Structure 1
Amino acid sequence: MDNKNVIVCDNGTGYVKCGFAGENFPTSVFPCVVGRPLLRYEESLMEQELKDIVVGEACADLRHQLDISYPVSNGIVQNWDDMGHVWDHAFFNELKIDPAECKILLTDPPLNPSKNREKMVETMFEKYNFSGVFIQIQAVLTLYAQGLLTGLVIDSGDGVTHVVPVVDGYSFPHLTKRMNVAGRHITSYLVDLLSRRGYAMNRTADFETVREIKEKLCYISYDYKREYQLGLETTILVKNYTLPDGRVIKVGTERFQAPEALFTPSRINGENNAFIVFIRLAGNAFIQAYPIRLGVCSCFVFLTDYSIPFPNRNEGRSSIRGKGKRSCIVMGGLELIAKELIDVEGDGMADMVFHCIQEMDIDNRMMLYQHIVLSGGSTMYPGLPSRLEKEILDRYLEAVLKGNKDGLKKLRLRIEDPPRRKHMVYLGGAVLAGIMKDAPEFWISRQDYLEEGVGCLSKCGQA
């Protein structure tokens, strides 16, 4: 079978990567987004006629006229009707194929509900009439692209971050770690940080602008506290960025504060988010906030537009109502409030990696430490591999070696950061599809589906 008759489609939260078996790059990469016109044709701005459904890159140019929706959330398809529009665009507009003459390899996120896989294979056969279908777990494909069968995959894209151990081509769902922090959440957090600097970034179009700022300027700090101190005392970290309207904004400590959420999603970041709050004890309590910097209350920041019930509270940790999540320390009539980074609790990337490997059986741990593979667009930040290596070594030294630094010489830790890791899942799929294109026993055929229904998914093994 010709490679052009074997399709590879990687459906991500942010982007769809699709192409043909054996290719080194995806034929098409477009945003996984669907837009519908807000106005009737005759009322359309600039007298530009809009289609009923707009998919992909076209949404960026017309976003002010569209109601935007994202079919995939945190790696999992939530809106199958819109996902159908995305696949229509991929197959008929981008790849220009006749599905009935093709086979397709689809990617599957770790811990994806079985109902979603069943719906996926049902759609491929009943709506598009593909002659063969195969579904493979994304982490396994990442290792294939790197020429490995065993390793630990850190896959961080636009919607979710996974840490997946794979041994001999098989993943371990019960050891897989998941964090709902990835590219889209970091962009939202950067919007919040820039608004505190005085730049209003509210509209959907602004979100795309901030995403570009993130991709061009953000990085992972090697030592967060030292980097933050450097940002306070000097302007060496400040970079200028020209917005589409010609305005120039300055981005400083925000460059590393936003992606820090990958490592400390629930950290109480006192340098920037902690406030001394003065409480009026009569009735409801109104919050007046002053940021704490180096232990000194600096200029007034805000008076909130909401109030909270303030009963007699003992000293200690509690919480309040209002926009966003707050952690409070009650001290008499004062409260110290810290907004948690992007409101997500749980382990960061380094903790997930360390715990995942240490929970694996002892025979495979060293192999996983030697092959930690980065995958996905949110692993592209400069400084991420070195920071990850440092934090894993720190945890290993403390928890395993009990402070004995001589033992670190025996740990052969290696972080693999291939330059094309943004498309690693697709590349692995293209390799696998190219090798297996003429192996009928590998694919789920249309006949298999007609005879067994969704039970045919057992042919995909774990998928």
Structure 2
Amino acid sequence: MFSPHVLDVPAVVVDNGSGLCKAGLSGEIGPRHIVSSVVGHPKFPAAPAGAGAGSGSKQRFVGEAALQRKEALSLRCPIERGLIVGWEDMEELWRHLFEWELGVRASERPVLMTEPPLNPRAARERTAALMFEAFQVPAFYLSDQAVLALYASACVTGLVVDGGDGLTRAVPVFEGYSLPHAVGRLPVAGRDLTELLARLLRAGGRGYPCALRRALVEDVKEKLCYVALEPERELARRLEEVQREYTLPDGQVLRLGDQLFQAPEALFAPAPLGVQGPGLPGLVAGSIAKCDADIQAALYGEIVLSGGSTLFRGLDDRLLRELEQRAARGTPIKITAPPDRWFSTWIGASVVTSLSSFRQMWVTAADFQEFGASVVQRRCF
């Protein structure tokens, strides 16, 4: 039987991402655990040595445990381009987060999970059903990732540029509600830039150990890549002016040049990735143009960057420069780039679930029993 006292317990907050899932407890300043969104299944009848955390008799491996055994496993990503595509693996990942990472019983705490803008109705209801039926949570809520990122910057109206591992979005938010008709999507994000950088390195004759290929390229991307304010001028610079060094684990030193800005340039000119259409500035301007004229100035005046793929040095300056060329003359434009923006969605969720006013927002187990999974369509915005 549902007890309202359970709502006084700090909630579990899970931010579901294509590349990473972040989990922790409400009221805390950051996620306690960050796990790669990957589940490994044995390729062969005999499972690899060792026990898979949270894997049970099926011998599934989650997160880093899966990546460390990738030669013997078939790796599956349950979230693709922001949407859940592998429900059994997603359930396994959530179980791993609850039981092995956080060490909590899902049945004893409220749970808030983030969801992408335009999350399909069926996905929302299936998530709720899993939480209440498989995990027996006492209370649950689904919340828009972009809205939460805006909350983390103490705003309720603005445009969120959310760049993760699987997708980049422009999401206008007005008074705490996203505007679905104006959400813009760009199928270029972190994993695409990693693959592009790998291609550029190979084309330049830069070798690196095959076994660590993706991890090394991601490290180069995160530590050295940047967005050029003027790409043509950057290309014209002398090699010694743009060259940077990266030391491999074996001590070998790679000298890298224009690949470091050519990879993230795909966010602004995505054609090299086979993506037709506008880059990031066109995505933002197009999203704002679809909104009511009365709020367009407010959206331009509060653009907030969120997600790991917005961390490139120079991205905010380049975006501002190009938006100034697209917006009506004299339009004030402000871009906020929080230093902790790679988990700002989680922070926003932690903040709102710790507010006493959020208590009435929870969908309880009693609500689910009375109305079924469709209750989230009426209660979770």
Place the TM-score, normalised by the shorter chain, in its bin: over 0.9
Per-residue CA distance 1:271-306 (angstroms, 9 max, x = gap)? xxxxxxxxxxxxxxxxxxxxxxxxxxxxxxxxxxxx
**Number of the residue aligned with 1:146:** 153
Distance in 2, matches of 1:201 and 1:161, equals: 28
**Number of the residue aligned with 2:226:** 219
Distance in 2, matches of 1:363 and 1:388, equals: 23
* Aligned 8 A contact 2:7 2:110 in 1: no
Q: Which runs of 5+ in 1 are unaligned?
A: 267-340, 401-406
TM-score (norm 2): 0.92
**Number of the residue aligned with 1:86:** 93
Match 1:450 to one of 365, 369, 372: 369
Match 1:264 to one of 263, 266, 269: 269
Match 2:355 to one of 435, 441, 457: 435
Q: Does 1:363 align with 2:363?
A: no
Q: Does 1:77 align with 2:84?
A: yes
Per-residue CA distance 1:74-95 (angstroms, 9 max, x = gap)? 0001101111111011000011
Which letter does structure 2 place at the counterpart of 1:136?
Answer: S
Q: Structure 1 residues 247 and 65 mapped into 2: Cα distance closer, same or farther (>3 Å)?
A: farther
Which letter does structure 1 place at the counterpart of 2:25?
Answer: F
CA drift at 1:204: 6.4
Match 1:98 to one of 98, 105, 118: 105
Q: Structure 1 residues 437 and 205 mapped into 2: Cα distance closer, same or farther (>3 Å)?
A: farther
Partner-residue secondary structure (3-state), 2:154: coil
Q: Does 1:391 align with 2:311?
A: no
Partner-residue secondary structure (3-state), 2:114: strand
CA drift at 1:381: 0.4
Distance in 2, matches of 1:455 and 1:65, equals: 40
Q: Does 1:23 align with 2:28?
A: yes
Q: Does 1:181 align with 2:188?
A: yes
- In our comparison, the structure showing a higher alpha carbon Rg is 1
Partner-residue secondary structure (3-state), 2:332: coil
**Number of the residue aligned with 2:42:** 37
User: Which structure: greater strand fraction?
Assistant: 1
Match 2:345 to one of 415, 419, 425: 425
Partner-residue secondary structure (3-state), 2:254: strand
State the identity %.
36
Per-residue CA distance 1:395-414 (angstroms, 9 max, x = gap)? 22xxx3xxxxxx43xx2210
Q: Does 1:380 align with 2:299?
A: no
Partner-residue secondary structure (3-state), 1:188: helix
Partner-residue secondary structure (3-state), 1:236: helix
Q: Structure 1 residues 163 and 34 mapped into 2: Cα distance closer, same or farther (>3 Å)?
A: same
Distance in 2, matches of 1:70 and 1:203, equals: 21
Q: How many residues align?
A: 370
**Number of the residue aligned with 2:120:** 113
CA drift at 1:454: 1.8
CA drift at 1:49: 3.0
Distance in 1, matches of 2:8 and 2:30, equals: 14
Match runs of 1:210-289 below 5 Å: 210-230=217-237, 233-266=238-271
Partner-residue secondary structure (3-state), 2:140: strand
Per-residue CA distance 1:227-279 (angstroms, 9 max, x = gap)? 0111xx3322111212233332221100000011111112xxxxxxxxxxxxx
Q: Structure 1 residues 60 and 174 mapped into 2: Cα distance closer, same or farther (>3 Å)?
A: same
Which letter does structure 2 place at the counterpart of 1:122?
Answer: A
Partner-residue secondary structure (3-state), 1:64: coil
* Aligned 8 A contact 2:141 2:380 in 1: no
User: Which structure: greater helix fraction?
Assistant: 2
CA drift at 1:39: 4.8
Distance in 1, matches of 2:177 and 2:358, equals: 23
* Aligned 8 A contact 2:181 2:290 in 1: no
**Number of the residue aligned with 1:311:** none
* Aligned 8 A contact 2:158 2:174 in 1: yes
**Number of the residue aligned with 1:7:** 12
Partner-residue secondary structure (3-state), 2:366: helix
CA drift at 1:58: 2.0
Per-residue CA distance 1:403-438 (angstroms, 9 max, x = gap)? xxxx43xx2210000111111100000111111477
Per-residue CA distance 1:6-44 (angstroms, 9 max, x = gap)? 1110000010111111111111111111112345658x5
CA drift at 1:453: 1.1
Partner-residue secondary structure (3-state), 1:244: coil
